[in-house]
A and B are shown apart, each in its own frame.
Chain A
Amino acid sequence: MKRRDFLKNCIMVIAGASVPLSALTLVDPRKVLAANPDIQWAFLINTEKCVGCGFCVKACKTENDIPFEANVTRTWVERYVYTKDDRRYVDSPKGALYGYTESRVDLGRGEFKEIDPKNVGKAFFVPKLCNHCGTPPCTQVCPVGATYKTDDGVVLVDRKWCIGCGYCIMACPYAARFFHPVLKVADKCTFCYHRISKGLETACVNACPFGARRMGNIHDINDPVTQVIMNERVGVLKDEFGTKPQAFYIGLAQEVR
């Protein structure tokens, strides 16, 4: 065989092989399986609208099969009370499962503090849930890859693969994770992935009577939630950790950590 022919044949083989190989990239299973790659879910919380009724917590626990009385929760509401004599009280009894119906503040160890309503300077509620971070530390530290981020920006846990080491729980700066009391694996908010992927709202958004919780697609510029995030002053929790949280807050106070 002449050198010329050899080179010619080589080029033909490479060209011929690259056609089926390029087909492999055309049908990247990740892209095919992702329902809609244009979606990036984000959460918007308006703390000024929250009244601490706890409906969101109840709805979440019911929807997601978290034992109702267990002292762990995927979402919770915190109460901040500042008195006029410059003292700060924060509590979240049972994650506000039963709402804030009492004026006394839970100090832990079974102690409570009654606060004189006339002495209250300012008080507000802050709902919290998993921030579905852009760079989640929890997925980074999982030793077996049982927790991962979906293409549409939701951090999920594979309950069949989690070994229950608790490293992700330690790595989360927001304490959004816990061990499921029955399944004995790490558990967290999924943005109700089973609902949002069918076009429904999350359970907490659905249950909130005041519209304090909203959810939207941050990649869609016409989405009302995206509009708010783009045009108004919103904050995120603990951005110093570099986690790029995807839960945005309206009316966030600097004391909220």
Chain B
Amino acid sequence: MVEQIAQHAMEVHGEAWTIKELFTLPNEYIYWSIQIVMYPFMTGLVAGAFVLSSLYHVFNVEKLKEIARFSLVFSFALLPVAMMPLMLHLQQPFRGIHVMMTPHFTSAIAAFGIVFSTYGCIVATELWLVYRKHFVLSAQTLNAQENRGLIDNFRRLVFNCLTLGAWDITPEAIEKDHKACKIMAGIGIPVACFLHGYAGFIFGSVKANALWMTPLMPVIFICSAVVSGVALCILCYVIVQEFRKFMAARKMSRWAKEADAPTVEELEGAKHMEVMLASNYLLYFMIAALTLEILDLIFRGYTQVKSWDILREVIMERDFVKIFVMQYGIGNVLPFLMMALPGRTVRRTTIATMLVLFGVFMMRYNVVIGGQAFSLSFAGFMDYHLPIIPHNLETFKEGLFGALSVIATPFVLFYFINKFLPAFLKEESSH
């Protein structure tokens, strides 16, 4: 027992997944591991999904109406998950609330609490404005209904609460909602960009790290965030629409049995149009993201400051496959060609969005892990080995299964949120 404790006390955070080579300083490990890769990835998805939804609300891109509403709900489901990797990564998770309570404002992380909650409020307000009519109508229907079961009683309670006492759904009131919604979306875009830009700033401002330190980092992060968010929304939208087509064809759900339920052809037509338009926006943002990333790389190679020797070895040799094959090749160039070449179909676009998501994930991985792949002494390297089979809490939290639970959570949340804020809603009960 005593030996066990001694053994336990010996294991240093990071030792389980770091392999050191040549000369590394004694305290150097890969302290920021897979969860810190997940963190910017998930925040990026939140910000990106929101930006896509704002295209409709602010710039009146009518054709994006359906995918915009879907993105907004999905962005809300992703929101709590952006915090999850941080909590899983903290050595003292119960003290995590200190960041909100006693923020130390010279730190980039301290802004997290404020930016994150502001952003959460904006998304919630916008959702409420979009769905207010739906809340009122649902609450009225449920209130009028007799012989309510347990579930309907619960739904009635929730919908009544969600109306917040605002029962006015005259066209004038709805028009006011619409205006307010536009303003919220307008404020939301810079806040979403700030939310993710400052995630880039967290890395870009670490002067000790030669790979991270560049003022381009926040901008690169914002562009790739929008890319990943739009890609995820397209992907999920297609999957959900396929699912709805399946249900509509077989009349399997409550909505599919209604008289005015959309037909398979209607669903297919809507899907095709929205996906094509959204993927155009995806292409524009991909060009911006890729340009900035390549600019950063070229600039480092051209200026050849002291750190370039070791960076070159990491980028061009050790991480070559991860950066040039997986990130740029499979994750950027291939999907770009798939979407840019003529004769684009929904299926091809859907596969391209999966590759884009993979590419953005690899970009986060190469930044976070790649930035710790070399020693501060510039004379040694550290290899990261993702823990797969956990042997203690730490290797679970910061291992494959920890990362997978972060990925799975937004979908679970979306399922429940969708029960009250249906992402696909008939025309008359929303705008």
Interface residues of A (CB under 8 A from B): 67, 69-73, 76, 78, 88-92, 94-95, 107-109, 128, 137, 139-146, 161-167, 169-179, 181-182, 184-185, 241-242, 257
Closest chain A CB from B249 CB (angstroms): 50
Instruction: Say yes or no: is B21 at the interface (Cβ < 8 Å to chain A).
Output: yes
Residues in B with CB closer than 8 Å to A95 are 26
A167–B208 alpha-carbon span in the complex (Å): 11
Q: Are A90 and B23 in contact (CB under 8 A)?
A: yes
Instruction: Say yes or no: is B321 at the interface (Cβ < 8 Å to chain A).
Output: no
Residues in A with CB closer than 8 Å to B28 are 175
| A108 partner, pick from B6, B32, B92, B380, beta carbons under 8 A | B380
A69–B6 alpha-carbon span in the complex (Å): 9
* Shortest Cβ distance from B379 into A: residue: A90
Residues in B with CB closer than 8 Å to A174 are 25, 376
A16–B109 alpha-carbon span in the complex (Å): 44
Instruction: Say yes or no: is B89 at the interface (Cβ < 8 Å to chain A).
Output: yes
Closest chain A CB from B121 CB (angstroms): 21
Instruction: Say yes or no: is B377 at the interface (Cβ < 8 Å to chain A).
Output: yes
* Shortest Cβ distance from A175 into B: residue: B25
Q: Are A163 and B90 in contact (CB under 8 A)?
A: yes
Which residues of B from 23 to 47 have beta carbons under 8 Å from A? 23-29, 31-32
Q: Is the interface of A mostly helix, strand, loop or mixed?
A: loop
A137–B207 alpha-carbon span in the complex (Å): 8
| A257 partner, pick from B26, B90, B378, beta carbons under 8 A | B378
A165–B90 alpha-carbon span in the complex (Å): 5
Chain A interface: which of B57-65, B69-77, B96-104?
A: B96-104
Instruction: Say yes or no: is B12 at the interface (Cβ < 8 Å to chain A).
Output: yes
Q: Are A184 and B91 in contact (CB under 8 A)?
A: yes
Closest chain B CB from A46 CB (angstroms): 21
Q: Are A167 and B107 in contact (CB under 8 A)?
A: yes
Instruction: Say yes or no: is B257 at the interface (Cβ < 8 Å to chain A).
Output: no
Q: Are B109 and A143 in contact (CB under 8 A)?
A: yes
* Shortest Cβ distance from A182 into B: residue: B9
A and B contact pairs by CB, cutoff 8 A, 19 listed? A67-B6, A70-B10, A76-B27, A141-B108, A142-B104, A143-B99, A143-B109, A144-B95, A146-B98, A164-B90, A165-B89, A165-B91, A167-B107, A173-B376, A179-B12, A184-B91, A185-B92, A241-B207, A257-B379
A32–B78 alpha-carbon span in the complex (Å): 50
A174–B99 alpha-carbon span in the complex (Å): 26
Q: Are A169 and B31 in contact (CB under 8 A)?
A: yes
A239–B108 alpha-carbon span in the complex (Å): 23
* Shortest Cβ distance from A143 into B: residue: B109
* Shortest Cβ distance from A148 into B: residue: B104
Q: Are A257 and B376 in contact (CB under 8 A)?
A: yes
Q: Are A175 and B13 in contact (CB under 8 A)?
A: no
A66–B96 alpha-carbon span in the complex (Å): 25
* Shortest Cβ distance from B394 into A: residue: A184
Q: With A141-B106, A142-B104 in contact, is A73–B26 under 8 Å at CB?
A: yes
Which residues of B from 197 to 229 have beta carbons under 8 Å from A? 202, 205-209
Residues in A with CB closer than 8 Å to B89 are 165-166
| A241 partner, pick from B10, B108, B208, beta carbons under 8 A | B208
* Shortest Cβ distance from B33 into A: residue: A166
Beyond A142-B107, A184-B92, A257-B379, 7 additional contacts (C-beta under 8 Å) are A70-B9, A95-B26, A140-B107, A144-B95, A144-B98, A144-B99, A170-B208
Instruction: Say yes or no: is B196 at the interface (Cβ < 8 Å to chain A).
Output: no
Q: Report, nearest first, the 5 A-B pairs whose CB atoms are least far apart.
A: A164-B91, A145-B104, A143-B109, A95-B26, A173-B208
* Shortest Cβ distance from B97 into A: residue: A163
Residues in A with CB closer than 8 Å to B21 are 107-109
